[in-house]
Amino acid sequence: MPQMSPLWWEILYILFLLSFMITITIIYYNKNLSPQYNLNKKVKLYQFYWKW
- The pLDDT value recorded for residue 14 is 92
- pLDDT > 80? residue 10: yes
- The pLDDT value recorded for residue 9 is 85
* Domain parsing of the chain, residue ranges: 7-51
Q: Determine the average pLDDT of the residues in 8-34.
A: 82
| DSSP reduced 3-state for 5 | coil
- The pLDDT value recorded for residue 19 is 92
**Which of left, alpha, beta for 31 (phi over 0: left; psi -120 to 50: alpha)?**
beta
Give 23-47 as a 3 state SS string.
HHHHHHHHCCCCHHHHHHHHHHHHH
> What whole-number percentage of the chain has pLDDT above 90?
15
Which residues fall within 8 angstroms of residue 28, CB to CB, at 6 or more apart? 38, 41
